[in-house]
Structures are given as C-alpha cells and as structure tokens.
Amino acid sequence: MTPARTSRPGWTARLLLLALCVALMLAPQIRAFPVPQADLVIDKATFSLADGQDERVALPHIWPRSAGYGPTQARYELDFTLGDTPQDPVYITVPAVRHHLAGTINGRELIAVGVIETWLDPSGGTARRFRVQEGALKVGVNRIVLTLERRHGAVSGYLSTLYVGGTQMVVRDHWSRAFGTERIRAAAHAMHLVVVIALVTLWSGRRRDPAFGWLLLLSAANFVVAVPNETNLPPAFAFLKPYFVFALPAFSFMAIGLSMAVTGMPVPRWVRVSVLGMPLALVLVAAATGGPRPLLAFTSAAISICAQFTAGFITTRAYLRQGGWEVGLLAIPFFLTAWYGLRDIGVATGIVDGGFLFSGFVRPLTMLIVLVLLMRRLTFSLDEIDRANETLRERLSEREAELAALHEKERQRTAQLVREQERQRLMHDLHDGLSGHLVSIIALSERHEADREQIERAAREALNDLRLVINSLDIGDRDLPLALASFRERLERQLRRMGVQLSWSMENLPEVSGLTPAHALSILRLLQEAVTNALKHGPATRIAIRGEAGDDGAALLVVENDGRNTFGDGKGHGLDNMRRRAERLGGHVKLTPTHAGMRFTFTLPAALPEAAA
Amino acid sequence: MGEGANVEGRPWRILLVEDDQPVRERLASLIEAWESGELVGTCDNLEKALAAIETKELDLLITDLKLPDGSGIEAIRRLRLHRPKAEAMVISVLADERTVLTAIEAGASGYLHKDADSIDLVEAITDLMAGRSPISPGIARVLVRRLSDRQEDGAQPAPGPRPTLTPRETDILWGIAKGFTYGELADRLGISRQTVPVHIRNIYRKLEASNRSEAVFEAARLGLIKL
C-alpha cells in the first residue's frame, strides 16, 4: 500500500512511536482502577467453588487452578456491619469482575445498574454496579451473597474489592461507567463495521493493491469472530464460544500478510495457507480429542502471539529501513495484541494480577490505526495526483511553447518559401515576356533607320505582357473566366486599334480546376500568341474567340480568323513551341484550316496538373 | 450629368494633370485633335492642378495619381468639392484594381490607360460624359468580395454607412466578375447593352458616397469633428 520510501524516519518519530507503544503496553500495569469514594470497603469474603469447601479469602480474589476448565460457579459471602440504616439509596460498586456476577443482600436481590448483558461478555473483565433494594439493609450485620458464574472457557474468575456507598459514589465513579457500559462496547463494534465497509469500498475499487485486500480480510474476519465472541450469544449458540479461541491464529497470520503487503514484500504461500489451515487444524484436533481443552486454547493463543510479534517485527523493520510513520504506527497494534495476549494468558491463569483481559481492547485501537492508515494513504494519493498534475501541466505548457515556436518557425519558413517561389515565378515571367520585348525595343531603336511602328508594336507587346503578368497574379482556382475576361478587355482595345473585329464568347466554357497564377499566365500567353500570329501572318480582319466544351470535360479555347496561312504550313517553330507549352498544361493545340481562314484550338484538361506549367 | 454641356454645342473643358512630359504631351495632343474636347490646361504637379481647379471652369479632370508633390486623389477631391458637376478620370499604366478603386472612392468616374490612343481616349471621355463608367472584371471582383465580406460578418456592423446596391447592380457586378461581357450581361438581364455602364456609374457614385460618409464617421470617431 505504501510505496518504498527512501527517507528514513527521524529519531523523534521513532522515539514517539516507541513511547506510544510502550505506554500502551504498560497501561494495564500502571493503572489498575481508581478507588471509588465509598462509605464502606469490603475486602474479605468467604469463597466456595462449585459446592466445594468454604474458604476465607481477601479481595481482590482470583479463582484457584482447581476451577479447571469449562462452566463452573463460585460463591462469595461478604458480611458488613451497619450502625444505622441509610436514608439515601445505597449502591455497591465492583470495579472489576470476570464472568457473570449476580447476588443478594440479606436475601434480597441486588439490582444491576447500567448493564444489560447483550453486547458485553463479562468473561474478559467488566465493571459492575448494583443498587440495594430499599429496606434490604438492616442495623447490625448484613450479608451479601454473590454468585460468579463461568459459562465457558478457561479464564479464571476474578472479583475485586467491593465498595458500598450512596449516590455520591456512583456519580463520581466514571471508571465503572466506562468499563461497565455496554454502549461503549457497542460503539466499538459500530466503528469496526464502518471501517469494514470503508475497506470493502476501497478493495472493490482497487483490487490490485494487496494491502487493501489483507486489511479487508483482517478487519472483516475479526469483525465476524470478535463481535459474537465479545457479546453474549443466545444460549443456542453459546456452545461456539470455546472455539473462538482457535480463530486467533487466523488473525495473526492475516496480520503477517498485511504487514508484508504494506511493506511491499511478496506474501509467501505458507502464510496464506496458515490463515485457514492453522485454525482448521486446531479445531480438527479439538474435535478428535473430544472438545476444546485448555492446552489447545493455550497453543492457539501462543501461535497467534508469535505471529503477531512477527508481524510487528516486519512492520518495524520496514519502518526503520524505509520510513513512513504510518507503517511504524501499524506495528503498535501487532505488538500490543501480542503483548496483551501474553498478559491475558497470565491473568486468565492467575499468574498475573488483574481484573481485565486487554486483548479485546486492542481491536478498537487497531481500527483507529487502520483509519489513520487509510486517510494517510488517501492524502498521499491526492498529493501524488497534485504533483502529477503539476508535472503534467508544466510539461504541457513546455510542449505547447515548443509547438508554438515550431509552428512559428514553420510558418515563417513556409511564408519565405512562398515568397521565394512567387519571386522566382515573377522573375521568370518578366524575363520571358517583358525583358525580351524591351531588349528587342533597344535593338530596334539602335537600327539606323528605326522602324517606329515596329518599336511601338514591340513596346505595346511589352506592356501587354506586363499586364498579363500582373493580371495573372491575383488569379485563384476556377478563376479562368475572370482571367479570360481581363484578357478580352485588353485584346478589345488592341484589336480595335488595328481595325480588327473581335467576337468573344466564353459562356460555354466548362469549368477548369486547379488553376494557379502560373497556369493562367501560360494560358493567356498562348491565346495572346495565337492572336498575334493571326494578326501577323494572316492579315485577319475578324477574330472570333470562344470557349467550348470538349470530350471528358475538357475546355476548348478556339481562336478563329479569316486570314490565311496563319502558321505557315502548320509545322513552324512557333507552333511547336506552343504545343510544348500546351502539353505542360496537360493540354494540346491544333491548327486547322477553315473555309474562311484558320482555326486554332487549344484544349485544356478539366483539372490542370499541379506542377506549375 | 455634364451631358448638357455638349448639347449647348460647347466642347468639354478638360484639365490634364500628368507629370511625365512625353505622356502629357501625347495625351494633350490627342485631346486637342478632338473637336469635342477643349484642353483648358495641363499641369505637371498637384499644386498647379489644385490652383487650376479653383480658377478654371471645367467639365472634366484627367489626372495621374502619382504626382511629384502629392496624389491625384487630392485633385479629384478638390474637384468634387468645388465643381460637383465636373467629372474626373484617372490615367494609369495598368489600371489595376487598387489604383482605380481609390480614385473612384475619391470621386472619379472612369479610368484611362496611359497608352490609350485617340479612339480609346475619345470613347472613354464620351462614355464618361454620357454617364457611363467602365469597369474591369478585376475591379468587379474586388467589389463583389467587399460586399460579400460585409454580408458575412453582418453580426458585426462595419463602421459607418455602406453602399446599398440594388439587386440589379449586384447582378451586374457579379456577372462582370464572372467574366461576362456587357452584351452577354445585357442579354441575360434583359436590359440594353448601353444601360450596363450606367449602372456601373451608379455603383461608383454609391461607393464615393459611402466612402465620404465613412470618412466623416471615422473623423467623428476620432473626435476630429463633432456630429
């Protein structure tokens, strides 16, 4: 559950955890119970065990070994003398007693206060309080007869000193209220249930984390066994009680599994097997040998104590090596269970003095620590998420900045490329047209007898070509009609000047796609040349230019004139040149004689090739 | 418009503004050779042109835009202000869209190529004075784009009033931008061929008006004048 940490715990943390653990271990020794503010203390009794002989004993009193194993009953007779009969209600407080206690005073039943024995099995030790019935006391010697009944198990009976007093004693006696009130025990069960539900939720959402699985197993199993064990089962199920002790090793091996999972160690197979195997073996042995025996109970307890110590050592070692105070914290319930277990064996057998068995009290503490562990894990995960988010955000913004820079670079490069291409094209176009014309103008002017008309014609051609180039700059895809219209505008003026009639119609021209400025320029230049040739070679008086639809969506530009022999024999250098240029556009040109003159047909594909013509 | 002038039997009084001497002389000689034109003056810079506009009675200003001391646009504006009945025409080598549209928005009604010969010149002037304006497909396309741009971002009204064209005018602009000839357009729209350039003139007048009100709007926005 907790990933390996590299930071080792500081000495303060270690000492704090150690101190906490030791304090909890020693708690039962340091503090027995507070002495109630009593009017009368009874510390002597006449004790007799199951119809045995009477014996004068001092309180607190532990049953002798002769009490043996299993259900048995003991009787205490306690006498005290009163000089006066009290007016106020009288109470008897028993700060510690093991097993079921009932009694009479002067033959009248003592009324138990604050305890309904449903949630509390008194065999582990409890505080009791009785109210003396009105009129039961008398002046002189009064006799209390107490019955202490053990219903199961080997835990010896225990009776502490008795305190007799009025309302004042009861009001101030918080001890008895705490240890005698079954509601507190019930609250512990409720808390346990809450933790189990929380773990079920966690585990069902995150099964790949073995620590959650072990935590859930331990908590749930413990709940299932501990609750009936610590409460008074209905008589029909009471026979189960002696077997509960055999479940202890299961919990202890679960503790080992949990400690290994939490510290990131692989849980060996034998641990898993022992969880079920060990209790099963003990129960089988008990069944085979005719029921639970103290020796078997002791063996079971001993095995689980050893296993708990082991779990404690595993977590402590991991804590000391890898850090993580919550791992160190988890060691505490392991050690406490083991330690209290040892002590309880002592108490139960009368070796150690004490009224309460403390193993049962570790359970709420364990649940608390589990809660802390879970919350700690939650905050750790949230921190991890925050950190991951932060890292992601940082990386994202870095990446975005990188991309933006890259994009900007690319954009600049593209823009530069486009500019460069456009510059190249313009240079190329101007070189092809304008500069050629200008050079020929110079050449013409330098002749001795400069032909003004020729010069003018060359200059006008130069200007025309410049207009073609500039006009084609703004031509986009499917703009062929526009390019042609601009061309027509110029051509009209040019032809009118020469007295040539122009008839123009592009209404039937199909759409041509993939048009670039370069394409447009090539097309217009071809048309211009066709017109120029018509004017130059066949002195035309009428020129008709029209758009037509060809096969496969091809666009035909037809130039007809009434002049003759427009291109000589049709195999001239000029026409070859035009053919090549048409082919580069994916089209072709054709020159055919008509009855009135020549027809020049320029065929363009429906989609122009991508490469600039 | 100025058509009445010639009805009186008086030639059009023309002021020519062109800084390039050969071109100026060439165009001047073309005008002088034309019986319906009377050259009242030639100027080679803006200053002289502005002075001439104020002092001379004019029917038509023919001006180059690039003058050594300023832009011919100024001369056109001055003419429209002082002699609203007179017409203006720009001379341009390439008659490219930007040049022509700037002049039209300033108040010019037509344009003339610098290499125009006598026929071109006479036709251009005659048409212009008869209330007809020329338009090239390129100019039509620029106008169509401008108008449709405006329609597209209709949610965000452009500053100042904009020309509102009649459907007929819009059809004509679209048609020319698509490459139709006046004749083809006239056939399609069921109007006479001679009406098309009259519509163009109306479009130009609207452009000028909207340009002027836009200038006023812009000036008001900048706090230069108070409305």
pLDDT digits (tens, 9 = 90+) for B182-216: 888 999 999 998 899 999 999 999 888 888 877 77
| Co-location of B77 and B159 in the same domain | no
Cα B16 from chain centre: 15
Measured between CB atoms, does A506 come within 8 Å of chain B? yes
User: Using CA atoms, how far apart are residues A363 and A247, in angstroms rounded to an integer?
Assistant: 15
Same domain, B61 and B121: yes
Q: Which of A493, A506, A507 sits opposite B120 (nearest CB)?
A: A493
DSSP reduced 3-state for B94:
coil
Please check whether residue B138 touches A, CB under 8 A. Answer: yes
CB count in 10 Å sphere of residue A572: 15
B123 to chain A: closest CA residue: A493
Same domain, B14 and B109: yes
- Total structural domains in chain B? 2
Q: Considering CB atoms only, which of B96, B115, B141 is closest to A470?
A: B96
Residue A387's pLDDT is what? 94
Q: Regarding beta strands B87-92 and A100-105, do their DSSP bridges make them parallel or antiparallel, or are they unpaired?
A: unpaired
- Together in a domain, B57 and B153: no
Burial (CB count within 10 angstroms: exposed 0-12, middle 13-18, buried 19+), residue B162: middle
SS (H, E, C) A308-337: HHHHHHHHHHHHHHHCCHHHHHHHHHHHHH
Yes or no, beta carbons of B141 and A484 under 8 Å apart: no
Place of tokens 């200038």: B215
From chain B, pick out residues whose CB is under 8 angstroms from the CB of A484: 179
Query: pLDDT tens across B106-154, in order?
Result: 999 999 988 888 888 998 999 999 999 988 888 888 888 887 765 555 4
Instruction: Tell me the pLDDT tens digit for each residue of A109-136.
Output: 888 887 656 667 777 888 888 888 888 8
The answer to the question of residue B226 being in a domain is no
Backbone angles phi, psi at A149, to 5 degrees: -115, 125
**How near does any CA of chain A get to the CA of B197, in Å?**
14
- B101 found inside a domain: yes
Q: Which helix (H) or strand (E) holds A171?
A: helix A167-172
Q: Do B37 and B121 reside in the same domain of the chain?
A: yes
Q: Which helix (H) or strand (E) holds A397?
A: helix A359-430
Task: Collapse the DSSP code of A349 into the 3-class scheme (helix H, G, I; strand E, B; otherwise coil) and give the result.
Answer: coil
**List of chain B residues whose C-beta atoms are within 8 Å of the C-beta of residue A430:** none
Cβ neighbors of A114 (< 8 A, separation 6 or more) are A129, A176, A177, A180, A181
State yes or no: pLDDT of B1 exceeds 60: no
The pTM (predicted TM-score) of the whole model is: 0.55
Q: Same structural domain for residues B182 and B98?
A: no
Determine the residue among B96, B144, B193 to mutate to test chain A binding: the one whose Cβ has the most chain A Cβ atoms within 10 Å: B96
Q: Closest Cα partner for A91 from A28, A157, A180, A158?
A: A180
Contact A452/B at CB under 8 A: no
Where residue B110 sits, what CATH number does that domain have?
3.40.50.2300
Do B83 and B36 share a structural domain?
yes
Q: Convert A480-539 into a string of H (helix), E (strand) and C (coil).
A: HHHHHHHHHHHHHHHHHHHCCEEEEECCCCCCCECCCHHHHHHHHHHHHHHHHHHHHCCC
To the nearest whole Å, the CA of B95 is away from the closest chain A CA by 9
- B61 and B146 co-located in one domain: no
CA distance A467 to chain B (A): 6
Number of neighbouring beta carbons within 10 Å of residue A576: 12
Residue of B176, B178, B196 for testing the chain A interface, max A β-carbons within 10 Å: B178
Q: Cβ separation of B136 and A489 shorter than 8 Å?
A: yes
What is d(CA A122, CA A185) in angstroms, rounded to the nearest whole number?
Answer: 11
pLDDT at A32: 59
CA distance A352 to A345: 8
CATH architecture for the domain at A474-604: 2-Layer Sandwich (3.30)
Using CA atoms, how far apart are residues A235 and A226, in angstroms rounded to an integer? Answer: 17
Residue B120 and residue B150 in one domain? no
**CB A605 within 8 Å of CB A551:** no
Residue B43 is predicted with a pLDDT of: 94
Chain centroid to Cα A191, Å, comes to: 26
CB contacts, 8 Å: B179 with chain A = 481-482, 484-485, 488, 506
Check residue A324 and give its pLDDT. Answer: 79
Domain pair A40-180 / A474-604, same fold: no
Domain with residue B211: its CATH number is: 1.10.10.10
- Cα dist. A419→A413, A426, A429, B59 in Å? 10, 10, 15, 45
Whether residue B187 lies within 8 A of chain A, CB to CB, comes out as no
The alpha carbon of residue A485 is apart from the nearest alpha carbon of chain B, in Å, by: 5
CB A121 within 8 A of CB A357: no
Q: A466 vs B181: CB contact, 8 Å cut-off? A: no
Are B178 and A463 inside 8 Å of each other by CB?
Answer: no
pLDDT band at residue B3 under the 50/70/90 scheme: very low
Establish if B32 touches chain A: CB-CB under 8 angstroms.
no
| In a domain? residue B102 | yes
**C-alpha–C-alpha distance, residues A528 and A520, integer Å:** 12
Same domain, B97 and B148: no
Chain B residues with CB under 8 Å of A481 CB are 178-179
Find the CB nearest A497 among B119, B176, B177.
B119
* Residues B73 and B114 reside in one and the same domain: yes
pLDDT score, position A4: 44
Q: Tokens 């072709």 appear where?
A: A588
Residue of B nearest to A459 (CA): B115
Q: Which of B129, B151, B171 is the last residue of a domain?
A: B129
**CB within 8 Å: B181 and A484:** no
User: What integer best gives the mean pLDDT of chain B?
Assistant: 85
The whole-number pLDDT of residue A183 equals 67
**Is A506 within 8 Å of B179 when comparing Cβ atoms?**
yes
Task: Give DSSP secondary structure letters for A74-129.
Answer: EEEEEEEEESS--SS-EEEEEEEEESEEEEEETTEEPEE-S--TTS--GGG-EEEE
| Element of type H or E holding B196 | helix B195-221
Is B26 an interface residue toward A (CB < 8 Å)? no
Low-confidence ranges of chain A (pLDDT < 70): 1-9, 30-34, 115-119, 174-183, 291-292, 538, 564-573, 611-613
Does residue B68 lie in a domain region? Answer: yes
- Whether B227 maps to a domain, the answer reads no
Does the distance separating the beta carbons of A482 and B179 come in below 8 Å? yes
d(CA B44, CA B17): 6
Q: Does B181 touch chain A if contact means CB atoms closer than 8 Å?
A: yes
Domain around B174? 137-221
Report how far residue A229's alpha carbon sits from residue A227's, in angstroms, rounded to the nearest whole number.
5
Contacts of B141 in chain A (CB under 8 A): 482
Partner-chain contact A485 B179, CB within 8 Å: yes
Helix axes A325-348, A359-430, angle to 10 degrees: 160
The whole-angstrom separation of Cα A103 and Cα A76 is 9
Alpha-carbon distance of B201 to B112, in angstroms, equals: 15
Q: B30: which chain A residues are within 8 Å (Cβ-Cβ)? A: none
C-alpha A524/C-alpha A531 separation (Å) is: 10
Domain ranges of chain A: 11-30+183-388, 40-180, 474-604
Residues B157 and B197 in one domain: yes
Domain boundary among B111, B129, B147: B129
Q: Rounded to an integer, what distance in angstroms lies between the CA atom of residue A560 and that of residue A429? A: 27
pLDDT of the residue at A611: 61
CA distances A405 to A400, A401, A402, A413, Å, are: 8, 6, 5, 12
Q: Which residue of A has its CA nearest to B124?
A: A493
Containing A544, the helix (H) or strand (E) segment is strand A542-549
Last residue of a domain, one of B87, B112, B129: B129
In a domain, B197, yes or no: yes
Do the chains contact at A493 and B93, CB–CB below 8 Å?
Answer: no
B42 falls within a domain: yes
B120 touches chain A (CB under 8 A): yes
CA–CA dist A302, A315 (Å, integer): 20
pLDDT value at residue B5: 47
Q: Is B74 a member of any domain?
A: yes
Question: How many Å apart are CA B112 and CA B95, to the nearest integer?
Answer: 7
> Is A482 within 8 Å of B138 when comparing Cβ atoms?
yes
Per-residue model confidence as pLDDT tens digits over B59-110 = 999 999 999 999 999 999 999 988 999 999 999 887 788 888 899 989 999 9
The CATH fold assigned to A40-180 is Jelly Rolls (2.60.120)
Asked if omega into A60 is within 30° of 0 (cis), the reply is yes
